Amino acid sequence: MEKKEDQQLQQEEEQVVNPWEVSAKDGGKIDYDKLIDKFGCQRLDQSFVDRVQRLTSRPPHVFLRRGVFFAHRDLNEILDAYERGDKFYLYTGRGPSSEALHLGHLIPFMFTKYLQDAFKVPLVIQLTDDEKCMWKNLSVEESQRLARENAKDIIACGFDISKTFIFSDFDYVGGAFYKNMVKVAKCVTYNKVVGIFGFTGEDHIGKVSFPPVQAVPSFPSSFPHLFSSKDDLRCLIPCAIDQDPYFRMTRDVAPRIGYHKPALIESLFFPALQGETGKMSASDPNSAIYVTDSAKDIKFKVNKHAFTGGQESIEKHRQYGANLEVVDIPIKYLNFFLEDDAELEHIKKEYGAGRMLTGEVKKRLIEVLTELVERHRRARAAVTDEMVDAFMAVRPLPNMFD
């Protein structure tokens, strides 16, 4: 990151990153190094990527190669155990606050699908309808409805039904799950939770007592129908880095109640079309590419709204090349979604040298995004209500490690 960012660090204003708000300091980018420092997680370096490749005998996912998933906690322990023959399970989730899902929402799910396939492990997906009911003031019915709708888009990412359990909090909380919630809650003082999440005296008690709900899926005993004989099973949580506070709390509590600490693998934020000052917002349709966007919409949004580092005129561009110091959105997005490493390198080189124009880069991006959204839409069309019921049914998964 640039030197001037360091000077800014001394100012009062800090970037804000927590599960409910993400914003950089004025006009700047998110400082991920500072974030890693502040949160206390580790950088995911190339050696990890290589190790994953070795263990799974397949090329690592594009998000790993490009540093989209860039931070972790205890990933080495998971990999060590895996090498010894001790499997793990995956846990990820979604807060169903809106029907419209954008590409940023899909990122953790795309990566989790890869992890499920590569490591051949089961997955639980939590839909925090209760959280959205409380934070976004939705009715119970509406949040449950959104949870089911979002589940369809999640399923469309290609999860294997014989190894995946999707649940919504309103449906599933109770029994063994609730017992673990109480165990966790007993270990976290009110002051601590205020410190981690920034609650105030004005916040209602629902919010204050929510964190255990997101913590306990990290413990296999929360799912007796899945893991009844495997109390020792470890958990790996792929998520965006703003979810880290929940799991810092969970990792703090876990040993005190006799459970393994969950491991984490964390991603960057997917920048809005207008530039990297924060993450995409579901309330601004032009800040994001939605999974329901048509090819025309995508073309329009990229051409009109994507913030680029291209120069003002073609002549200047050919002379100086693109300014890749700022966040050039087309390049950034291609970084996420263009599979071919060689092609990406080529584009960066040519664009930076001025030989390739902004328009051409945008055109390539539009192709890539359109194909992605098309594929998603086709998969989504195959998801029925019955399929959602099946994914969400409390049922055994006998082949979950195959």
Partner 1 sequence: MGSSKDQLLVRLKELQIDFSQYEHPVVLTVEAQAKYVGNKGGALSKNLFLKDKKHRYYIVSALADTKVDLKVLSQRLGLGKGGLRMAPEQALGEILQVPLGCVTPFALVNESARHVSLLLDQGIKTQERCFFHPLSNDISISLDAHGLDKFLKSTGRDPSYVDLEANPPVGKDQPPDLAAFIPSGSTVLPDLPDEAPASQDSTGNHVSAGTKSAAVIAVKPSGNVQNVKEKPVNGARPSIPSANAGKFVEELLDKTSTLLLSEISEDSIKQHGGQLGTEVVNNIQKCLREDLKNLATIFKNTAYTEGFYAGIHYQPKRL
Nearest to partner 1 of 129, 328 (CB atom): 129
Q: Please choose, out of 12-20, 213-221, 224-232, 379-387, the segment that lies near partner 1 by the rule CB under 8 A.
A: 379-387
Q: Please choose, out of 83-91, 123-131, 155-163, 295-303, the segment that lies near partner 1 by the rule CB under 8 A.
A: 155-163
Buried b (16+ CB within 10 A) or exposed e, 358-368: beebbebbbeb
Give the footprint of partner 1 on residues 349-378 (CB under 8 A). 375
Hey, what's the torsion of the CAs at 345, 348, 354, 356, to 10 degrees?
A: 80
For position 387 contacting partner 1 by CB under 8 A, the verdict is yes
For position 54 contacting partner 1 by CB under 8 A, the verdict is no
Q: Residue written as tokens 């599933």?
A: 172
Nearest to partner 1 of 185, 383 (CB atom): 383
Instruction: Kindly tell me the burial class for residue 258, based on how many C-beta atoms sit within 10 Å of its own C-beta (0-12, 13-18, 19 or more).
Output: exposed
- DSSP letter at 298 equals H
For position 385 contacting partner 1 by CB under 8 A, the verdict is yes
Contact 51, 45 (CB under 8 A): no
For position 140 contacting partner 1 by CB under 8 A, the verdict is no
- Phi then psi dihedrals of residue 351, to 5 deg: -70, -45
Least Å distance, CB 353 to partner 1, is 29
Q: Which of 6, 26, 393, 396 binds partner 1 (CB under 8 A)?
A: 393
For position 171 contacting partner 1 by CB under 8 A, the verdict is yes
Nearest to partner 1 of 70, 165 (CB atom): 165
- Phi then psi dihedrals of residue 328, to 5 deg: -85, 115
Sign of CA dihedral 180, 141, 126, 66: negative
Nearest to partner 1 of 121, 392 (CB atom): 392
- Cross-strand partners of 93: 126
Q: Which of 304, 325, 386, 398 binds partner 1 (CB under 8 A)?
A: 386
For position 392 contacting partner 1 by CB under 8 A, the verdict is yes
Q: Which of 46, 162, 294, 319 binds partner 1 (CB under 8 A)?
A: 162
Query: d(Cα 134, Cα 302) in Å, to the nearest integer?
Result: 34
Binding site for partner 1 (CB under 8 A): 117, 155, 158-162, 171, 375, 379, 381-382, 384-387, 389-390, 392-395
